[in-house]
């Protein structure tokens, strides 16, 4: 042992796996980072090229979206408004439903009911959205809505809102439950100790204390709703119009991207560029909603509740 006592360098004796591991893992990390660069790069370059032809001002303010007309118009407003209508409409159903389900799970349900609801929301979150779109088109509109309002169009915003709302309910429930869980139990117990009924404490103490978290949940859910494609494509249809009745059809940013077969537009044309500009707007909308939600959530975590 004494002879080798001074030699502490045995790097050469390490196996090939040891020497290869670091560069291989590095390649994986670089490749992953490359997807980010690719998304940002492709969208950025093509969008910039599009705005070389169409001015951003007109893009954002005009109200006609007819890219393939003889005199093409690129006013994204109808698409943007439709996306907002769907996101808000879905939230109108999903946020109260999700909040009440979360309250029930946290403060009323027995073990079995809680477990059953947890299982159902997990499964619901895993259902591909195209299936929800199918149900909206083949069941919600013809069976449910037509019974109530016979004049309902085959493609309409309401059935899309219902289906998208169902899709985002698990998101609302998950975030709302964690918001409710972060309310100190002492607060709840103090209310109960003062003789208030459980329901009163829930409405007066619990929900107000968890409110920032609930709003955050609503924003995160709306971000998902704005990015949802298949339900709105199937159920809300493809009319790029500023629709005022929920029983009429409309066309969102996502539906435009998915439905207008991009193969029709040769690379380099304005029409081709329009897809990237629409994608960029969509990305900005979803990121804005997500960032707002995250912000609210971190404010809650960093001591909004004392």
Partner 1 sequence: MSAPSAARAEVPVLAADRLTVRFGDRTALADVTLAVPRGRVVSVIGPSGGGKTTLLRAFNRMNELVPGAATTGTLRFNGVDLHGEEVDPVEVRRRIGMVFQQATLFPRSIFDNVVFGPRARGHAGDLLELAEEVLVAAGLWSEVAEDLDRPAMQLSAGQRQRLCIARTLALKPEVLLLDEPTSALDPAATARIESLIHSLRRDHTIVLATHGRRQAARLSDFTAYLAGGELIEYGPTEALFTNPRDRRTESYLTGRIA
Partner 2 sequence: MSGPKHRRDGVGTACEVVAALVAAAFLAVAGVLAVEAWGAADLGFLFDPSSRVADRAGIGPALAGTLWLAALTVAFALPVGVGAAVYLEEYAPRGGVVAAAGGAVENLAGVPSVVYGVVGLALFVRGLGMGPSLLAGGCTLAALALPTVIVTTRSAIRAVPCGLREAAYSLGATRWQVVRGQVLPAAAPGIVTGSCAAVTRTVGEAAPLLVLGAVSFMTFAPRSPADPLTSLPTQVFAWSARSQEDFAAAAAGAGVALLLVLLVVNLAALAVRRRLRGIPA
Looking at residues 181 to 220 of the shown chain, list those that interact with partner 2 (rule: CB under 8 A).
185, 188-189, 192, 197-200, 202-203
- The minimum distance between CB 70 and partner 2, in angstroms, equals 25
Q: Is 227 in the site for partner 2 (CB under 8 A)?
A: yes
Residue 179 site contact among partner 1, partner 2, none (CB < 5 to 8 Å, cut-off depends on kind)? none
CA 201 remoteness from chain centre: 32
- Number of residues counted as binding partner 2 (CB under 8 A): 92
CB-wise, 244 or 267, nearer to partner 2? 267
Q: Which helix (H) or strand (E) holds 73?
A: strand 73-74
Q: Site residues for partner 1, window 7-66 (CB under 8 A)? A: 7-11, 13-15
> What DSSP string describes 165-224?
HHHHHHHHHHHHHHHHHTS-HHHHHHHHHTT--HHHHIIIIIHHHHHHHHHHHHHHHHHH
Instruction: Give whichever of 120 and 215 is closer to partner 2, judged by the CB atom.
Output: 120
Nearer to partner 2, 73 or 290 (CB): 290
Q: CA separation (Å) from 206 to 28, 104, 169, 198, 211? A: 46, 12, 20, 10, 8
Does residue 49 bind partner 2 (CB under 8 A)? no
Q: How far is the CB of 71 from partner 2 (least distance, A)?
A: 25
Whether the CB-CB separation of 247 and 152 falls below 8 Å is answered with yes
Considering CB under 8 A, how many residues would be counted as binding partner 1? 13
CB of 14 to partner 1, least distance (A): 8
284 token code pair: 């900005």
Greatest alpha-carbon span in the chain = 96
């Amino acid at each position: 042992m004494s002879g080798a006592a001074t030699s502490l360098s045995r790097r050469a004796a390490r196996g090939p796996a040891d020497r290869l591991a670091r560069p291989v893992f590095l390649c994986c990390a670089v490749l992953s980072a490359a997807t980010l660069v690719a998304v940002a790069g492709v969208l950025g370059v093509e969008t910039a090229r599009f705005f070389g032809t169409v001015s951003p001002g007109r893009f954002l303010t005009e109200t006609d979206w007819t890219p393939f007309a003889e005199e093409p118009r690129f006013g994204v407003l109808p698409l943007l408004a439709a996306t907002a209508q769907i996101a808000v409409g879905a939230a109108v159903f999903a946020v109260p439903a999700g909040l009440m389900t979360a309250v029930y799970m946290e403060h009323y349900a027995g073990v079995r009911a809680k477990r059953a609801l947890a299982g159902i929301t997990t499964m619901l979150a895993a259902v591909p959205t195209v299936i929800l779109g199918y149900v909206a088109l083949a069941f919600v509109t013809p069976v449910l809505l037509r019974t109530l309002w016979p004049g309902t169009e085959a493609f309409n915003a309401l059935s899309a809102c219902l289906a998208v709302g169902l899709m985002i309910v698990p998101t609302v429930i998950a975030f709302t439950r964690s918001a409710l869980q972060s309310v100190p139990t002492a607060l709840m117990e103090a209310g109960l100790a003062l003789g208030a009924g459980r329901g009163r404490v829930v409405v007066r103490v619990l929900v107000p204390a968890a409110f920032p978290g609930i709003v955050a949940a609503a924003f995160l859910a709306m971000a998902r709703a704005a990015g949802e494609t298949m339900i709105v494509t199937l159920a809300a249809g493809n009319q790029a119009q500023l629709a005022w009745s929920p029983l009429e059809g409309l066309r969102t940013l996502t539906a435009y991207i998915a439905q207008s077969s991009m193969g029709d537009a040769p690379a380099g044309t304005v029409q081709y560029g329009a897809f990237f500009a629409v994608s960029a707007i969509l990305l900005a909308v979803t990121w804005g909603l997500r960032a707002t939600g995250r912000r609210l959530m971190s404010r809650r975590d960093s001591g909004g509740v004392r």
